[in-house]
Homo-oligomer: A and B are copies of this chain.
């Protein structure tokens, strides 16, 4: 089966986030006040072929540890979405 997987990777609390700081500084100049705590991370969507949802989740988690996230400075979460069988309509 093919599983749709979403991986969210965010900078951990306390880790500097220059992208977020830049956005936060730019917003008042555009007229948006009252916006705080801007943090920018990555959202990765992928399709994994696996026999079960647990297998898909385990492989996605391993990929996060090895490639998708830097676990020293980033936290990640894996969400498994809908599954479809090969050959079926998407």
Contacts and interface: CB of A to CB of B under 8 A. Distances in A.
Interface in A10-56: 10, 20, 23-24, 26-27, 30, 32, 34-50
A71 interface: no
A75 to B, nearest CB: 11
Contacts of A39: 44-46
Interface of A: 2, 8-10, 20, 23-24, 26-27, 30, 32, 34-50, 59, 62-63, 66-68
What is the count of identical protomers in the complex?
2
A63 to B, nearest CB: 6
B43 A37 contact: no
B26 A48 contact: no
